[in-house]
Amino acid sequence: ASAITVPVPLGDRAYDILVGRGLIEAAGARIAALGARAAALVTDEHVGPLYAQALSRSLAANGLRTAVITLPPGEATKSYAGLERVCDAVLEAKIERGDLVVALGGGVIGDLAGFAAAVVRRGVRFVQVPTTLLSQVDSSVGGKTGINSRHGKNLVGAFHQPSLVLADTSLLDTLPAREMRAGYAEVAKYGLIDDARFFAWCEGNWTGIFDGGPERDEAVAQSCRAKAAVVVRDEHETGDRALLNLGHTFGHALERITRYDSTRLVHGEGVAIGLTLAFRFSAALGLCPLSDAERVEAHLKSVGLPTRLSHVPGGCGTVDELLDAMTQDKKVKGGSLTFILARGIGQSFIAPGVEAEKVRAFLTSEI
C-alpha cells in the first residue's frame, strides 16, 4: 500500500503520520522499526472484532509480543476506571520502558491509551492507529491525551506525543455514516481556519471523501498537515493553537446543553453548528461578508450536517442557558469570552474579550 507521509517536526519528539489505504496489514513492520520488543494493543468492542486480529498478526509476524486489551466503546470509557484497566493490563503484559502502547480506535481509545502510556512506568512510547475520521484528522495528532472527570471533559491528562501515527483510511469503510459526517466537520474546519483553497476543494470533492476515493486520503493528509503546522508552532496551546477551536465555543456549549448525549448530538455535529454560528456571528459583527457565512452553511448542510440552533434534537435551551454553558468553557479567561472569529473563509483569528452582551444579542437573533 502506498502512503502519504506527513512529518511532525517536533525536535527530539518528531514523528511521522502515514496516511493511506491498507496500512494496518503492513503496520507490524513500521511499528517494529521503532525498536520495541512488545506491544499492548488497546481497542474497543466495536473496532476490536473488525481490525485487532489483522494488526496483532502483523505485529507478531514482525517479532513483537502482543497483548490485546478490549474496552467498552463510548465516552464513558475515558474515565479513571478505564485508565486503571489499561495501566494494569499494560503492566500485566510486562510492557517495559522501550516497549509500546498501540491505540487502535477512535478518539476515546486514543486519548485514554495515550494517557495511560504517558503515566504508566512514568511514560512509555505509543503509536496511534486512529479508526474514525475525527481521530485521523484531529485527535491522533498533537499529543493531547486524557480522561474525563466529574468536573468536566478532558480535565485530567498530559501532553504525550505519539511515536508514529498510522491512519489507514480503508478502516473508515465500516464507520457509521453519522460518525463520518461528524469527523468531516473538522476537515472543513481546517479550510475555514486559514486555507480558503482547501475549503473550495472540499466543496468540489467531498463525495470522494465519503465514498473512499483518493480524495479521502488527500483530505486526511491535508488535515493532518494543517493540524501539525499549528501544533509545531504552539505545542502546549499558549497561543495560536486556539485557532483549532473555531466553531468550538458554540459547539462545546451545545454538547453541554445536550448533556453529552450522543443520541442527541455528537461532537462534530456541535462543531458544524458552531462553525456556522461563528461565521454568522462574525457577519453580525460586521467583520465578515454574510455571503461567506451562507457558503459555510450551504456546504455543511449539503453533507447532511446540522447547522442551526433549531437543529439540536430536544432543543438548544434558552439564551441564558447557552451563555452559561459558554462561560463554563475552560478556554474562557477572566469572565470575558474568547472567540475564534473570521474576516472570511480561511481568515479566522483569535478574538479575546468579546463582550457577553454582543453574544447575547446574537444568540437572541438566532433562536
Residues within the annotated binding site for NAD(+)?
107-111, 131-132, 144, 153
- Which residue matches cell numbers 495515550? 114
Q: Is 131 a binder of ligand NAD (CB under 6 A)? A: yes
Q: In what order do the strands lie in the sheet with 38-44?
A: 4-8, 15-20, 164-168, 125-130, 100-105, 38-44, 65-71
**Residue closest to 293 by CA, chosen among 347, 242, 356:** 347
Q: Is 162 a binder of ligand NAD (CB under 6 A)? A: no
CA distances from 285 to 23, 187, 320, 324 (A): 46, 26, 20, 21
Annotated binding site: 107-111, 131-132, 144, 153, 186, 248, 267
Q: Is 292 a binder of ligand NAD (CB under 6 A)? A: no
Q: Is 18 a binder of ligand NAD (CB under 6 A)? A: no
CA distances from 242 to 43, 66, 235, 239, 330 (A): 29, 38, 11, 6, 12
**Binds ligand NAD (CB under 6 A): choice among 60, 76, 123, 174:** 174
Q: Is 307 a binder of ligand NAD (CB under 6 A)? A: no
**Binds ligand NAD (CB under 6 A): choice among 86, 117, 175, 242:** 175
Measured over the CA atoms of residue 185, residue 238, residue 11 and residue 41, the dihedral's sign is negative
Q: Is 139 a binder of ligand NAD (CB under 6 A)? A: yes
Catalytic site includes residue 46: no
B/e letters for 21-59, b = 16+ CB within 10 Å, e = fewer, are bebbebbbebbbebebebbbbbbbebbbeebbebbbebb
Smaller CB separation from ligand NAD, 47 or 322: 47
Q: Is 237 a binder of ligand NAD (CB under 6 A)? A: no
Smaller CB separation from ligand NAD, 44 or 235: 44
Q: Is 105 a binder of ligand NAD (CB under 6 A)? A: yes
- The secondary structure element, H or E, covering residue 159 is strand 152-159
Q: Is 154 a binder of ligand NAD (CB under 6 A)? A: yes
DSSP 8-state code for residue 22: T
Q: Is 44 a binder of ligand NAD (CB under 6 A)? A: yes
CB atoms within 10 A of CB 215: 18
**Binds ligand NAD (CB under 6 A): choice among 20, 106, 247, 346:** 106
Catalytic site residues?
Answer: 122, 144, 186, 227, 237, 241, 245, 248, 252, 267
Residues in the site for ligand NAD, rule: CB under 6 A? Answer: 44, 46-47, 50, 73-75, 78, 105-109, 111, 131-132, 134-135, 138-139, 142, 144, 153-154, 171, 174-175, 179, 267
